[in-house]
Amino acid sequence: MINIDVNGASRQVNIEPDTPLLWVLRDMIGLTGTKFGCGIAQCGACTVHVNGTAMRSCSVPIGTLDGAKIVTIEGLSPDNNHPVQRAWIEEGVPQCGYCQSGQIMAVVTFLKKYSKPTDADIDANITNICRCGTYEALRRAIHRAADMMQT
Protein backbone atom coordinates (compact mmCIF):
# COMPACT_ATOMS: atom_id res chain seq x y z
CA MET A 1 0.00 0.00 0.00
CA ILE A 2 1.38 3.38 -1.03
CA ASN A 3 0.24 6.58 0.67
CA ILE A 4 0.23 9.78 -1.32
CA ASP A 5 -1.35 13.18 -0.96
CA VAL A 6 -3.10 14.31 -4.13
CA ASN A 7 -4.33 17.88 -4.24
CA GLY A 8 -4.60 17.91 -0.46
CA ALA A 9 -6.43 14.62 -0.06
CA SER A 10 -4.65 11.51 1.20
CA ARG A 11 -4.94 8.47 -0.98
CA GLN A 12 -3.98 4.88 -0.43
CA VAL A 13 -2.96 3.15 -3.61
CA ASN A 14 -2.81 -0.59 -3.98
CA ILE A 15 -1.23 -1.40 -7.33
CA GLU A 16 1.98 -2.84 -8.74
CA PRO A 17 4.74 -0.44 -7.62
CA ASP A 18 6.11 0.06 -11.15
CA THR A 19 2.81 1.59 -12.26
CA PRO A 20 3.53 5.15 -13.39
CA LEU A 21 1.92 7.93 -11.37
CA LEU A 22 0.11 9.04 -14.54
CA TRP A 23 -2.07 5.94 -14.64
CA VAL A 24 -2.73 6.01 -10.91
CA LEU A 25 -4.01 9.57 -11.28
CA ARG A 26 -6.06 8.89 -14.39
CA ASP A 27 -7.37 5.38 -13.98
CA MET A 28 -7.52 4.84 -10.21
CA ILE A 29 -8.15 8.31 -8.78
CA GLY A 30 -10.11 9.59 -11.78
CA LEU A 31 -8.16 12.82 -12.27
CA THR A 32 -8.14 12.92 -16.06
CA GLY A 33 -6.81 16.45 -16.51
CA THR A 34 -3.30 14.98 -16.62
CA LYS A 35 -2.80 13.52 -20.09
CA PHE A 36 -1.01 10.62 -21.71
CA GLY A 37 1.01 11.68 -24.73
CA CYS A 38 4.08 9.51 -25.14
CA GLY A 39 4.85 7.37 -22.08
CA ILE A 40 8.59 8.10 -22.23
CA ALA A 41 8.86 11.58 -20.69
CA GLN A 42 9.30 13.21 -24.10
CA CYS A 43 6.21 15.35 -24.56
CA GLY A 44 5.32 16.59 -21.07
CA ALA A 45 1.53 16.26 -21.43
CA CYS A 46 1.54 14.33 -18.14
CA THR A 47 3.43 16.95 -16.10
CA VAL A 48 2.39 17.23 -12.43
CA HIS A 49 4.07 18.55 -9.30
CA VAL A 50 5.72 16.02 -7.03
CA ASN A 51 6.80 17.65 -3.78
CA GLY A 52 6.85 20.97 -5.60
CA THR A 53 8.87 19.82 -8.59
CA ALA A 54 7.43 19.46 -12.08
CA MET A 55 7.73 15.83 -13.16
CA ARG A 56 6.57 13.84 -16.13
CA SER A 57 4.25 11.45 -14.36
CA CYS A 58 4.29 8.85 -17.14
CA SER A 59 7.80 7.96 -16.04
CA VAL A 60 7.53 8.15 -12.25
CA PRO A 61 6.71 4.78 -10.66
CA ILE A 62 4.15 5.01 -7.88
CA GLY A 63 6.35 2.80 -5.72
CA THR A 64 8.87 5.64 -5.35
CA LEU A 65 6.27 8.10 -4.12
CA ASP A 66 5.23 6.90 -0.67
CA GLY A 67 4.50 10.02 1.36
CA ALA A 68 4.79 12.35 -1.63
CA LYS A 69 2.65 15.42 -2.15
CA ILE A 70 1.22 15.50 -5.66
CA VAL A 71 -0.49 18.47 -7.26
CA THR A 72 -2.29 18.01 -10.56
CA ILE A 73 -3.92 20.61 -12.81
CA GLU A 74 -7.19 20.03 -10.94
CA GLY A 75 -5.50 21.05 -7.69
CA LEU A 76 -3.51 24.00 -8.96
CA SER A 77 -6.11 26.53 -7.89
CA PRO A 78 -9.61 26.29 -6.46
CA ASP A 79 -11.24 28.34 -9.20
CA ASN A 80 -8.87 28.45 -12.15
CA ASN A 81 -7.32 31.68 -10.89
CA HIS A 82 -3.63 30.81 -10.68
CA PRO A 83 -1.74 33.56 -12.53
CA VAL A 84 -0.53 31.04 -15.10
CA GLN A 85 -4.08 29.88 -15.76
CA ARG A 86 -5.25 33.49 -15.98
CA ALA A 87 -2.45 34.33 -18.37
CA TRP A 88 -3.36 31.27 -20.46
CA ILE A 89 -6.94 32.48 -20.68
CA GLU A 90 -6.04 36.10 -21.39
CA GLU A 91 -3.61 35.14 -24.15
CA GLY A 92 -5.97 32.45 -25.47
CA VAL A 93 -3.30 29.78 -25.55
CA PRO A 94 -5.10 26.43 -25.96
CA GLN A 95 -6.32 25.09 -29.27
CA CYS A 96 -7.06 21.38 -29.04
CA GLY A 97 -5.97 21.80 -25.43
CA TYR A 98 -4.67 18.30 -24.88
CA CYS A 99 -1.11 19.31 -23.90
CA GLN A 100 -2.07 22.39 -21.95
CA SER A 101 -2.46 20.88 -18.47
CA GLY A 102 1.13 19.73 -18.75
CA GLN A 103 2.30 23.06 -20.18
CA ILE A 104 0.68 24.98 -17.35
CA MET A 105 2.11 22.70 -14.65
CA ALA A 106 5.57 22.98 -16.18
CA VAL A 107 5.37 26.77 -16.38
CA VAL A 108 4.19 27.13 -12.78
CA THR A 109 7.36 25.62 -11.34
CA PHE A 110 9.53 27.28 -13.99
CA LEU A 111 8.31 30.71 -12.88
CA LYS A 112 9.19 29.92 -9.28
CA LYS A 113 12.80 29.62 -10.36
CA TYR A 114 12.78 32.25 -13.11
CA SER A 115 10.57 35.05 -11.87
CA LYS A 116 11.57 37.36 -14.74
CA PRO A 117 12.34 34.88 -17.50
CA THR A 118 14.05 35.82 -20.73
CA ASP A 119 13.09 34.14 -23.97
CA ALA A 120 16.28 32.14 -23.68
CA ASP A 121 15.25 30.93 -20.21
CA ILE A 122 11.92 29.86 -21.63
CA ASP A 123 13.53 28.09 -24.59
CA ALA A 124 15.89 26.19 -22.35
CA ASN A 125 13.31 25.06 -19.82
CA ILE A 126 9.88 24.71 -21.39
CA THR A 127 10.25 21.69 -23.62
CA ASN A 128 6.71 20.27 -23.69
CA ILE A 129 5.38 19.47 -27.14
CA CYS A 130 2.28 21.18 -28.52
CA ARG A 131 1.13 19.68 -31.83
CA CYS A 132 -1.25 22.56 -32.43
CA GLY A 133 1.75 24.85 -32.33
CA THR A 134 0.45 27.30 -29.75
CA TYR A 135 4.01 28.37 -28.95
CA GLU A 136 3.55 31.98 -30.03
CA ALA A 137 0.69 32.52 -27.58
CA LEU A 138 2.33 30.29 -25.00
CA ARG A 139 5.45 32.43 -24.89
CA ARG A 140 3.36 35.57 -24.51
CA ALA A 141 1.39 33.93 -21.72
CA ILE A 142 4.53 32.95 -19.81
CA HIS A 143 5.73 36.56 -19.83
CA ARG A 144 2.27 37.75 -18.86
CA ALA A 145 2.07 35.30 -15.97
CA ALA A 146 5.50 36.40 -14.79
CA ASP A 147 4.34 40.02 -14.85
CA MET A 148 1.20 39.15 -12.89
CA MET A 149 3.20 37.34 -10.26
CA GLN A 150 5.51 40.37 -9.84
CA THR A 151 2.67 42.66 -8.94
Partner 1 sequence: MRGIRIPSTVNRRDFILTAVSVAGGMMIGIGAAPGSADAAAISTQPWNDNEYAPHELDAWIAIDPDDSVLIRYQRSEMGQGSMTALPMMITEELQCDWSKVRIEYASSNRSVREHRVYGNMYSHGSMSVRESQKMVQQVGASARERIIAAAAARWHVPASECAAAQSVVTHRLSGRTLRYGELAAEAAKVKLAKEPTIKTPAQFTFLPRRIPRLDLVHKTDGSAKFGIDAQVPGMVFASISACPVPGGKLKSVDESVLSGTPGIVGVVKLEDAVAVVATDSFWRAKRALSRLQPEWDVGAAGDVDSEQLSKEFRAALRDRMVLARNDGDVDKAMSGARKTFEAIYETPYLSHTPMEPLNATVNLQPDRLDVWVGTQDAEAALRAAAKASGLKPEQVYIHNAFLGGGFGRRDGNDEILQAIAVARVVKRPVKLIWTREEDTRQDRFRPHAVVGFKAVTGSDGMPTAWSMRVVTSSIFNSVGIPFPPGKAEPPAVDGLESIGYNVPNTRVELHIRNTHLPVWFYRAPGANQHTFAIESFLDEIASARGIDPYQMRRKLLAGKTDWLKVLDTAAEKGDWGKPLPKGSGRGIAICTFTDSLCAQVAEVTVKPNGEVKVNRITVALDTRHMVNPQTVTEQAESAVIFGLSAALYGKITIKAGAVVQGNFDTYRMVRLAEAPRIDVHLVPSGGDVWGGAGEPAVPPVAPAVTNAIFAVTGKRVRTLPIVDTDLSRAT
- We find the least distance from the C-beta atom of residue 50 to partner 1, in angstroms, to be 17
- We find the least distance from the C-beta atom of residue 67 to partner 1, in angstroms, to be 21
Question: Which of 67, 79 has the CB closer to partner 1?
Answer: 79
- We find the least distance from the C-beta atom of residue 117 to partner 1, in angstroms, to be 12
Q: Using alpha carbons only, how large is the chain's radius of gyration in Å?
A: 15
Indicate the Cα dihedral angle 105, 107, 113, 117, nearest 10°. -170
User: Which one, of 122, 129, 111, lies nearest residue 47 by Cα?
Assistant: 129
Residues near partner 1 (CB under 8 A) are 7, 15-16, 18-20, 22-24, 26-28, 30-40, 42-43, 45, 72-77, 79-81, 85, 88-90, 92-101, 104, 122-124, 126-139
Residue type, 128: N
